[in-house]
Each structure stands twice: as C-alpha cells, then as structure tokens.
Chain A
Amino acid sequence: DIQLTQSPFFLSASVGDRVTITCRASQGISIYLAWFQQKPGKAPKLLIYAASTLQSGVPSRFSGSGSGTEFTLTISSLQPEDFATYYCLQLNSYPLTFGGGTKVEIK
C-alpha cells in the first residue's frame, strides 16, 4: 500500500500569511494526487486534482505542485474561511490512501 505522510500535523497562522502543506508518498504516484479541505461537521471539498489543477470555483489563492513522491499545497494569502483541516489523497493505485491531515488554525 502507498503511504502518504503529511506535514505539518498542525499549523498556526494569521490572516494574510502564506501557508505551505507537504504530502510525501512512499512510492512514486506520478500526478495522481488530490487535495481536500474539510471543515467541522462537513464533507471534504475538492480543491486540487492531478496535483496542480484547480477545481472549478476554488479561489486562485490555492495552488498545488509536485509529482512523483513530493507534493505541496500552498495558500498564498490565508483568509478567515480557510481555517480548516486539509488532506491529500493518492489515486495512483488501490487501496486509495489519505494523508493524516493538517489542521490550520488561527494564530
């Protein structure tokens, strides 16, 4: 199974900060990676797919990069509505696996 290691586990940041979350795969997964945002009590929301493609309707302050085993999600200027937990998901092979999540909280 492919393991995804997300870091950091927890991130405290201020509105306007640039934030970067990393997801490392235990083996190469090409660009078959997606990023999700989840708020308490809500379903995950797709932000980025194919490692770097922005989902329709998602603000352009979100961006993704990487291929192979290392990926990043960047929020260029953190907004109040961005405080949430973020997950990466590999879709290269079954079983699909998620990263452990990164909780972004207000400093």
Chain B
Amino acid sequence: EVQLVESGGGLVQPGGSLRLSCAASGFTFTSYGMSWVRQAPGKGLEWVSVISASGDSTYYADSVKGRFTISRGSSKNTLYLQMNSLRAEDTAVYYCAKAYYYGSGTYYDYWGQGTLVTVSS
C-alpha cells in the first residue's frame, strides 16, 4: 500500500526556516517523481515544486523560487522541502504527491495527509 506521511510543519517567525519531510513507502521511491503542493487556509491548491525520479531535475513556482529547495534522499525514501526566508503568505498546509506516468503525461495519484506551516510573529 502506498503511503506518504508529511512532517516538519509548525509555527515559524517571518524570515525563518523550516524543513518538511515526506516519508514514502509501498512503492519504489527512486522510480517516481514527486511534487509539493500547498493550500493556504480557506484557499485553493497551489503547486510548489517538483523533483524528478533521479533527483537531477527540479522546478519551482515563481512564488517560492530562490527560497525553497526540493530534494530527495533515496536511501531513506524521503522527500524534503527546505523553506527559507519564510513569509506570512507561505502559511498553508503542504502536501507531497507521487507522480503517475501515463502515455507521455505525468499525473499525481497518491497524496499525503498534509502538514501545516504557520508563519507568524
């Protein structure tokens, strides 16, 4: 059974840092790309970042580029999101999601339960 479990969220002051983790199990972690998606309280979904299966390729939303870094630890089957220079507008529930490949497309079939990040003084 595929499981994705996020952790590392919490309360942080503006300008601070936080590292989120997503522990993956039930599939061959090194064969699938992974994304982070966030949702501010009462708002819609916003894609944040993606990393390829090999870890060689990454992309970011403009809103987090230069501040957030996505990475993966193959030996630990864990996805990370290092978040620096945090702002109030980064307050959200952060979800990790596993890629699913169909034809020439990449979709996201499994999602974690989310971890809440609150940026406030």
Q: Which residues of A contact B (CB under 8 A)?
A: 1, 31-32, 34, 36, 38, 42-46, 49-50, 53, 55, 87, 89, 91, 94-101
Q: Knowing A43-B95, A44-B95, A91-B105 touch, does A98 contact B46 (C-beta < 8 A)?
A: yes
CB distance from B107 to the nearest CB of A (A): 4
Is B77 part of the binding interface, using a Cβ–Cβ cutoff of 8 Å?
A: no
Q: Is the interface of B mostly helix, strand, loop or mixed?
A: strand
Q: Knowing A31-B105, A34-B108 touch, does A97 contact B47 (C-beta < 8 A)?
A: yes
Q: Which residues of B contact A (CB under 8 A)?
A: 35, 37, 44-47, 50, 59-62, 95, 100, 102-103, 105-109, 111-114
Contact yes or no, B47 A95, CB < 8 A: yes
Residues of chain A with a CB closer than 8 A to B106's CB: 91
Residue from B46, B100, B111 in contact with A49 in the complex, judged by beta carbons closer than 8 Å? B100
Residues of chain A with a CB closer than 8 A to B114's CB: 43
Residue from A1, A44, A87, A96 in contact with B111 in the complex, judged by beta carbons closer than 8 Å? A44
Contact yes or no, B44 A49, CB < 8 A: no
Residues of chain A with a CB closer than 8 A to B103's CB: 50
Q: Which residue of A lies closest to B111 (CB)?
A: A43
Residues of chain B with a CB closer than 8 A to A31's CB: 105
